[in-house]
Structure 1
Amino acid sequence: MIAAENLKKKFGRKEVLKEMNFFIEKGETVGVVGPNGAGKSTLLRILATLMKSSGGSVQIDGLDVRKEQKRIRQKIGYVPQEIAVYHELTTRENLRFFAKLAKGSSEERWMQRCEEWRLAEHLDKKVKHLSGGNQRKLNILIAMLHDPDLLILDEPTVGIDISAKQEIVNDLRQLGREGKTILYSSHDAQELETLCTSFLILKEGELLFYGSKQKVRQFGSVAQSENFAETLGEIVG
């Protein structure tokens, strides 16, 4: 699904990503993990075709990220850290507005998602009156209007309460069961452990580790710890 070969990114003389190589299978839910400044958001923006790499190559479903951006964007949904919706419009108005921009969007499908994600009762409320959790849900649903195969989420639960986080993680797990490929960046180890099947672990622009959740526990000096958060914390240091 996603193949990166010697992928790198520089801003001036600073190397933000250093020759990364990985292959993500279709249907995986991958946690993108690392401390601030590790290069997580840069990597996700490159995969989402919002930023160009400085070298190497990336293919998504066999398509070159540099040469076939239009076709790739039909396959991906990108959710930024910021809530990118119109707060003075209602939930329904936002969905209808963005649906006009999303090729292949179906009102029947997004209404069904609203039911599944418990947003249907809030369709006629202005976004500014929604809870933080429901604003975050709307942000994700807008990225899914065209029913993408790949969903890229950059810290999508920042600033909301624990119960709202749990709801979103459970909804994303359902998408994984439907066969969606998900890249998920977060600093919340509990979210990552609950949701993700594999992990990309970055530090200072380098790919320290890529593999399954089980292999994460074998990596690092606290490999025998039963505390997954402690294991991740030790790896990213």
Structure 2
Amino acid sequence: MISAENLSKKFGRKEVLKDINFCIQKGETVGVVGPNGAGKSTLLKIIATIMRGTNGSVQIDEMDTKKDTKKIREKIGYVPQEIAVYHELTARENLRFFAKLAKNSPEENWVRRCEEWKLAEHLDKKVKHLSGGNQRKLNILIALLHDPEILILDEPTVGIDISAKQEIVNDLRQLGSEGKTILYSSHDAQELETLCTSFLILKEGELLFYGSKQKVRQFGSVAQSKNFAETLGEIVG
């Protein structure tokens, strides 16, 4: 469903991504993992058609992200690390505004989703008065307004408490069970282990590993006795 072939990205002389190749299947929840500066955000932005690679290609459902950008964007919901909403508006006003841009997004649909995500009681509060967790939920729900097949999330739980993280991870697991393909970047190994079915591991712009969660433990010289967090830590170094 999502494939990269010899994908690279340069900013000036600095090569941020180096000949990346992978093929993600429909319905996978993929943890995009690596230390700071590994190229995670750059890769997610290229897949989301926000940025273009320097060389190589990315295809989604056999459509090229450079040539078929408009059609691909209809399939994608992108959640940036920054909270990209209007803080002086209420949550409901934000959802109504972005629903008009998304089109074909009936209010009853997103109200139901807000109820499922425990945000309904906060809909008429200004965003600036919401907790960090509820702001993060709103950020994700806006990306879901057009019911995308693919959801791309760049560290969507950064800076919030553990209980709010758990709620969001559980909500995302439900989306995965509905058949959505999810790309999820995080530094939280527990989140990644709970949510993801496979992993794409980057380091210094290179793809170290792509495969199932079960195969992560078998990668390289990682000892079988280590827990998952230690395993990921040893791989990304």
TM range (shorter): over 0.9
Q: Residue 216 of structure 1 corresponds to which residue in structure 2?
A: 216
Q: Secondary structure at the match of 2:192?
A: helix
CA distance in 1, matches of 2:136, 2:83: 7
Contact 1:46/1:52 (8 A) holds in 2: yes
Opposite residue 3 of structure 1, the aligned amino acid is S
Task: Give the share of equivalent positions with the same residue, in percent.
Answer: 86
CA distance in 1, matches of 2:27, 2:5: 20
CA distance in 1, matches of 2:103, 2:70: 11
Residue 223 of structure 1, CA deviation: 3.1
Residue 75 of structure 1, CA deviation: 0.3
Unaligned stretches of 5+ residues in structure 1: none
Query: Is 2:211 the counterpart of 1:236?
Result: no
Residue 118 of structure 1, CA deviation: 0.4
Opposite residue 64 of structure 2, the aligned amino acid is D
Q: Residue 187 of structure 2 corresponds to which residue in structure 1?
A: 187
Contact 1:200/1:207 (8 A) holds in 2: yes
CA-based RMSD of the aligned residues comes to 0.7
After superposition, residues 1-237 of structure 1 pair within 5 angstroms as 1-237=1-237
Residue 103 of structure 1, CA deviation: 2.8
Contact 1:76/1:150 (8 A) holds in 2: yes
Q: Secondary structure at the match of 1:235?
A: helix
Deviations 1:106-162 (A, max 9, x none): 212111100100001011111111110000000000000000000000000000000
Contact 1:90/1:126 (8 A) holds in 2: yes
CA distance in 2, matches of 1:150, 1:223: 34
CA distance in 2, matches of 1:9, 1:100: 34
Pairs aligned (count)? 237
Q: Which runs of 4+ in 1 moved over 4 A?
A: none
Q: Secondary structure at the match of 2:165?
A: helix
Unaligned stretches of 5+ residues in structure 2: none
Q: Secondary structure at the match of 2:118?
A: coil
Residue 12 of structure 1, CA deviation: 1.0
CA distance in 2, matches of 1:192, 1:141: 20
TM-score computed with the length of structure 2 as normaliser? 0.99
